[in-house]
Amino acid sequence: MTCLFLTSLIFIQTAAVDETAVAQSAKDRRFGAVESFWAPNEAADLGIGWERILFYWNEIQPGGPDDWNTLHVPEEWLNEANAQGRQVVGLLKNTPNWATEGQFAAGVPRGLYLPIDDPSNLWANYVRRVVAYYGERGVNNWIIWNEPDIAPDVYGHEFSGNMDDYVQLLKVAYLVSKQTNPAARVHLGGLTHWHDPSYLGRLMQRIAAEPDAAANNYFFDVVSLHIYFRPETVSSIVGNGFYAQQQAGISPLKAVWINETNARPSMDPEWPVEVQAFPVDLEQQAWYIPQAFALGFYAGAERIAMYKLVDINLPPGGESWGLIRPHDFSRRPAYFSYQTTINYLSGFEYPIKREQSVNHYLFTFNRPQGVTRLMWAKTPANVTLRVPALAESAQLIQATGEVSQVVPVNGVYEIQLNGARCHGECLIGGAPIFLFEEGVRADDVPAPPPVVEPVNTPTPENSPTHEATETSIPTDTPEPTNTPEPTETPVPTETPAPPTDTPEPTETPVPTETPVPPTDTPEPTAVSTEVAVVIETATPQPVVEPQQESNNSFFQNQSGNILIGLGVVGGLILLLGAWLGGRRS
């Protein structure tokens, strides 16, 4: 399979400075959970920095433009979030019947193409009022609709207009929001990516084509993404969020947020769920979280949120995505994994260093408290890593929070990583390990020595689950800049039932999210350890034209031999022709 590689990390320096400053406070706002208001005590216990709340137009103005139902989003939720230092991000969607000629909730608002000060532009009127009212209550971030990339005939469809209609919806919301509240920040509707991998690129081109786009900041401040099940896809999808902007000529580049991410556990004994695809057990959901957050932040995501803290009003057997179970509010292993992730990554600073081989990842995060290194096996192969020590001892932390003390031997920690678990297919890497060393920095971390020699059968080089063959880096080799991530072409087979946006107390649940990651990765069976390591650093870089590069290391390595072979065959054919010519004469 040929993959598209981004040739450098794209990172928004101005946004990073702002977010890093916030991160130094008691609560790091880069770590979020959708609808945390349902479990505020647990949100405070975790240290959640931001949450998303739904603002349904059909609930706030159910009967007409003069309605104003503030009980849909009670002020108690906002007051509690503010008291806990948790920032609220609002999502505007769901057209009421009285405001559209089209489908309820998904229809294009009437008067959308009229000037924003025209009383008949119903969407402009609503946005103006909701931004003004809730801006006074601390809500300054607004997501414009949800998953507009899902087609009308697909489950989870939420917006019936075409791309021109969505651009106009966004444009009106941006102009009205900025006019009403200059502090407002406007986000694109969260995109699923896999429903239409080219959607974001086309959307950026369409926005940039508006005559007044550049003069109005291209009508958005943040790209919002929804990424599920496969942490390996996180970096490439985030990278595509920046690359699509760069290709459209949008400058400066806008921030990218992951508004939703998770791997729904279908194999929870206390809440079993029958699914058609993507079976995940409780431990795998817990392992997913550190992996997705490390890969997302490394790729430049400004913020990331779990979908979600807890599911409400879920029928028995319904897909439960929560870190907390819906029936008794008991905590899943994923809850403790997210707590560990926040505890040991909170306050991290850029650059982030990444080391990898075909079978493992290792990320290094500098923090005010010290250095956290996060590592896991990428495949079912068990891995032994030799990690250079920065201090006389360290804490070794399992994903779910169990802590032990470790001491280096000859300046090296030897760490065992268990391989990934596969239920038919390998969705998620193995159990992550955090290594925390207090009071040190990793500005000059030496390259690790080669890992323990391979055992048993090596993993095939040309497996589609592996990256191109890498070369071992000696300890004195300077670090390269960030290695590009592939943008994959999805090959979905089945569409899982999506998570459902939690309804407010006055409404019926409305299904939305349908994550559809690729499903073409076969399950590796080899058990081996690493010999090759690549070290990269995530630092702000200018964007470069992507390159087409083969994912099959065998053909990369053999191309020279193939050319030589063709030359030899050609020579033999010429000799044979000469000999036959001599025979005829």
Residue 54, helix vs strand vs coil: strand
Q: Which amino acid is present at 128?
A: R
For residue 504, what pLDDT band results from cuts at 50, 70 and 90? very low
- Is residue 332 predicted with pLDDT exceeding 70? yes
* CA–CA distance, 479 with 469 (Å, rounded to integer): 18
Which residues, 6 or more positions from 413, have their beta carbon under 8 angstroms from its beta carbon?
Answer: 386, 387, 388, 389, 394, 396, 406, 435
**Residues 352, 206: contact at Cβ < 8 Å?**
no
- H or E stretch covering 204: helix 199-208
Classify residue 547 by burial, with Cβ atoms within 10 Å: 0-12, 13-18, 19+.
Answer: exposed
For range 46-50, the mean pLDDT: 98
* CA–CA distance, 22 with 86 (Å, rounded to integer): 12
Query: Domain extents for the chain?
Result: 10-349
Which pLDDT score, from 0 to 100, does residue 443 have? 84
Out of 24-38, 143-157, 250-264, 300-314, least confident range: 24-38
Of 418, 436, 412, 450, whose CA–CA distance to 534 is shortest?
450
For range 362-384, the mean pLDDT: 97
The model's pLDDT over 160-175, given as tens digits with 9 standing for 90+, comes to: 999 999 999 999 999 9
Strand 534-538 to 349-356 pairing: antiparallel
Q: Domain 10-349 class?
A: alpha beta
φ/ψ of 494, rounded to 5, equals -130, 150
For residue 538, what pLDDT band results from cuts at 50, 70 and 90? low
Classify residue 570 by burial, with Cβ atoms within 10 Å: 0-12, 13-18, 19+.
Answer: exposed
Q: Which tops the pLDDT comparison, 524 or 80? A: 80
* CA–CA distance, 332 with 421 (Å, rounded to integer): 18
**Residues 59, 110: contact at Cβ < 8 Å?**
no
The model's pLDDT over 401-459, given as tens digits with 9 standing for 90+, comes to: 999 999 999 999 999 999 999 998 899 999 999 999 999 999 865 554 444 332 332 23
The model's pLDDT over 558-576, given as tens digits with 9 standing for 90+, comes to: 333 333 343 433 444 434 4
The model's pLDDT over 334-359, given as tens digits with 9 standing for 90+, comes to: 999 999 999 999 999 999 999 999 99
**Residues 148, 200: contact at Cβ < 8 Å?**
no
- Is residue 537 predicted with pLDDT exceeding 80? no
- Is residue 182 predicted with pLDDT exceeding 60? yes
Which residues, 6 or more positions from 570, have their beta carbon under 8 angstroms from its beta carbon?
Answer: none
Which pLDDT score, from 0 to 100, does residue 403 have? 98
Q: Which amino acid is present at 255?
A: A
φ/ψ of 529, rounded to 5, equals -120, 175
- Is residue 554 predicted with pLDDT exceeding 80? no
Which residues, 6 or more positions from 212, have their beta carbon under 8 angstroms from its beta carbon?
Answer: none
For residue 533, what pLDDT band results from cuts at 50, 70 and 90? low
User: Percentage of residues in the chain with pLDDT exceeding 70?
Assistant: 71
**Residues 197, 150: contact at Cβ < 8 Å?**
no
- Is residue 277 predicted with pLDDT exceeding 70? yes
For range 305-312, the mean pLDDT: 97
**Residues 192, 226: contact at Cβ < 8 Å?**
yes
For range 108-134, the mean pLDDT: 98
Which pLDDT score, from 0 to 100, does residue 509 have? 30
Average pLDDT, the chain: 80
